[in-house]
Structure 1
Amino acid sequence: MELTTIWNEYESAVRAFLHSKVSSPEDVEDLSQEILIKIQNNINNIRSESGIKPWLFQVTNNIIVDFYRKRARQKDLSVDDLWYERDDPEFRQEMLSCIEPFINALPEDERELLRKVDIEGVSQKMIASEMGISYSTLKSRVQKSRVKLRELFEGCCHFTKNNRGDVIDCERK
């Protein structure tokens, strides 16, 4: 088996696969070159012609994974680059004005509990002590209140989430 024979047969399929996973044509070209090098270096390890295609696509997939890993490592993010780590009073106020009507729609006890915990930042242990209930009971109440709040959000809006479950977009229903 020769490199040119293998590449001529599978090049278009490999490139199509690369284009489906990588947006930049320049990166696709670079990755294609890496694949060619990998084929050249391992061509003698291919035992049968029927194993070429699965092996080639496994190599391609591994190269794509490595490409994204390298890219992720190259980004040196600081805490300042992360919007959710910022203590931005304007952003906080904007988000609060959006969330407040939903919180106000909850029953009074749940509304006040979420205000203290999630808006004012009062410790759940302190609130439990003030209320004379166990910490685990208070945690349960907070979670139940958050579930009700979430149901209100979901009744109003459609959320788009990324693969980690983080909300990345919101649209009114």
Structure 2
Amino acid sequence: MISEWQNHKAQLRSYVSKRINDSHAVDDILQDVYIKASSNLHQLKSKGSLKGWLYRIAHNTIMDFYRQQKPYEELPEDLVAEDNDSGSLARKELAECLRPLIDELPEKYGTPLRLAELEGYSQQSIAEQLGLSLSGAKSRVQRSRVKFREQMMACCDFEVGQEGITDYSPKKTSSSTKC
């Protein structure tokens, strides 16, 4: 095994060093490859496949090396999260803007949508409050969302980018459409 290892050691070193920047880690990985190959030599099917087998062991050892690395620094213990939830305020403001449009929906669609989206009830509790089965409540909420979307599309023009909706403007509608 040692003579075969010497034949492939330089090539394996080159292979590993192209994938690992730390020269000390390259030596450690080569040592691990040799140990794994030596202890699992009985698994080698034929001597002709030794080179490929060593490269597979080297590849797996490199992957193990990267899995063990910490890609981040630990945060200090005394770090405190800021209590700045501007998203919550924005959601409340948006809910107040959307409430009149939801109120324009027929009651059988407006109520489940209001409970699910504005008040945050689960679909199970919506089913219990409205006397529906769970699947009935789920269907009602989904149909409500579709009807609400249709109403929104009839009332507003939306500009959509990679981040989602980036801008909107009210449409000029006929007097028959409530917006």
Which of 82, 88, 93 is 1:92 aligned to?
A: 88
Given that 2:16 and 2:62 are in contact with CA atoms closer than 8 Å, whether structure 1 keeps it comes out as no
Relative to structure 1, the CA distance from residue 57 to residue 148 in structure 2 (aligned partners, 3 Å threshold; closer, same or farther) is farther
Q: Which has the higher helix share?
A: 1
Work out whether 1:108 is the aligned partner of 2:105. yes
Match of 2:140 in 1: 141
User: Where does 1:29-108 land on structure 2 (aligned, <5 Å)?
Assistant: 29=22, 33-44=24-35, 45=37, 48-68=50-70, 88=85, 90-97=86-93, 104=101, 108=105
Give the gaps of 5 or more residues in structure 1.
Answer: 16-27, 160-168
Of 4-13 and 59-68, more deviation after overlay is shown by 4-13
User: Partner of 1:157: helix, strand, or coil?
Assistant: strand
Match of 1:157 in 2: 160
Shift of 1:138: 0.8
Given that 1:128 and 1:135 are in contact with CA atoms closer than 8 Å, whether structure 2 keeps it comes out as yes
Give the gaps of 5 or more residues in structure 2.
Answer: 42-49, 168-179
Root mean square deviation of aligned Cα: 4.6
Q: How many residues align?
A: 141
Given that 2:104 and 2:110 are in contact with CA atoms closer than 8 Å, whether structure 1 keeps it comes out as yes
Match of 1:131 in 2: 130
Q: Deviations over 1:3-36 (max 9, x none)?
A: 8614542145323xxxxxxxxxxxx53xx64453
| Counterpart code for 2:28 | I
Shift of 1:91: 2.0
Relative to structure 1, the CA distance from residue 105 to residue 56 in structure 2 (aligned partners, 3 Å threshold; closer, same or farther) is farther
Identity of aligned residues (%): 19
Work out whether 1:118 is the aligned partner of 2:117. yes
